[in-house]
């Protein structure tokens, strides 16, 4: 009976999200643990069979660091950001698109011919502008690190319409004909807006957002846009880019954006298909009410709205 109760709890959410696009940013321990990688792929396929339209966006910081070390390429950080030389960018591109992306596609496709891998440079999906940082009042160049400036979701939309699951690596086209390494949180947020997604879900290594961590360990379950804006100045360097990405998504027309614990197997399904959900949700109440009533909403042109300095690049 308990199993039946859990299954029937999913019914209203199956109805509300059937046919809806959900963008999932994949990162953290869920990318490193073999068991969690398998469970993540299962969750994505479950969403697909449940009638949702999942899109995966990923980085790969640990894998990049390992390959740079193995190749003898020096890797340094400035203001928390990886300095990405041309030589390092070749490795970043190879690892994100040629290794990590293929592994995710392979795990999903063990369940059927669903996933199609691509990078943000394919079909000019993501364009980026060169990013620099301020250190002690001076502008410092950090190499081939970019900030997403434009999104053309046509190729991803075509894959979704064809019944596929797009898996996108966080490499973007540059205006000089090269490529940039971009923050996967930002890329996922921008793509969610451009696709008119109903949800953005970001997998992390924490339960969600806490009001005053570590002094206060009470999880914030729900925030509106104004409440999140007020909290941003107090957030840690690790949480700030993720919450800014959520804010950008919701301000851009995505009704709900979530931070959930990727260390919990199938946390993705717990968020989508249970009444309480998991993690922290940022919501626009008007758009959310429209979504939950069954009415549609449509993509808006994506534009960058935040210019602060998140942990850009290949960070998980």
- Annotation: binding site for substrate: 60-61, 82, 181
If we measure between CA atoms, which residue out of 56, 115, 100 comes closest to residue 262?
56
If we measure between CA atoms, which residue out of 155, 157, 183 comes closest to residue 170?
183
Structure tokens at 288: 């959310």
Give the integer Cα–Cα distance in Å for 106 and 195: 24
Give the integer Cα–Cα distance in Å for 145 and 85: 9
For residue 163, how many other CB atoms are within 10 A of its CB?
Answer: 10
Which residues does the annotation place in the binding site? 60-61, 82, 181
Instruction: Say how far residue 129 (Cα) sits from the centre of its chain.
Output: 19
For residue 116, how many other CB atoms are within 10 A of its CB?
Answer: 17
Give the integer Cα–Cα distance in Å for 160 and 153: 11
If we measure between CA atoms, which residue out of 187, 185, 123, 182 comes closest to residue 155?
123
φ and ψ of 51, to 5 deg: 100, 0
If we measure between CA atoms, which residue out of 207, 273, 276 comes closest to residue 242?
207
């Amino acid at each position: 009976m308990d199993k039946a109760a859990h299954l029937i709890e999913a019914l209203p959410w199956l109805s509300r999200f059937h046919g809806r696009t959900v963008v999932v940013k994949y990162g953290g321990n869920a990318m490193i643990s073999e068991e969690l990688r398998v469970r993540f792929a299962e969750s994505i396929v479950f969403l697909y069979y449940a009638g949702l339209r999942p899109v995966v966006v990923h980085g790969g910081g640990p894998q990049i660091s390992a390959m740079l070390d193995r190749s003898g390429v020096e890797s340094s950080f400035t203001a928390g950001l990886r300095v990405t030389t041309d030589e390092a960018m070749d490795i970043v591109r190879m690892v994100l698109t040629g290794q990590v992306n293929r592994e995710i596609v392979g795990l999903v496709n063990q369940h059927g011919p669903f996933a199609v891998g691509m990078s943000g440079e394919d079909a000019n999906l993501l364009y980026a502008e060169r990013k620099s940082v301020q250190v002690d009042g001076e502008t410092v160049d950090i190499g081939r690190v970019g900030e997403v400036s434009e999104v053309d979701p046509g190729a991803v939309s075509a894959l979704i319409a064809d019944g596929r699951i797009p898996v996108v690596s966080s490499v973007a086209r540059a205006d000089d004909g090269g490529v940039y390494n971009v923050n996967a949180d930002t890329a996922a947020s921008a793509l969610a807006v451009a696709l008119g997604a109903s949800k953005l879900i970001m997998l992390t290594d924490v339960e969600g957002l806490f009001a005053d961590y570590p002094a206060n360990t009470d999880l914030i379950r729900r925030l509106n846009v104004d409440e999140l804006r007020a909290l941003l100045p107090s957030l840690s360097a690790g949480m700030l880019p993720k919450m800014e990405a959520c804010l950008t998504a919701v301000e851009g027309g995505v009704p709900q954006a979530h931070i959930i614990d990727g260390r919990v197997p199938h946390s993705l399904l717990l968020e989508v298909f249970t009444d309480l959900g998991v993690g922290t949700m940022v919501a626009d109440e008007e758009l959310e009410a429209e979504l939950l009533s069954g009415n549609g909403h449509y993509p808006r042109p994506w534009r960058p709205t935040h210019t602060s300095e998140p942990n850009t690049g290949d960070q998980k």
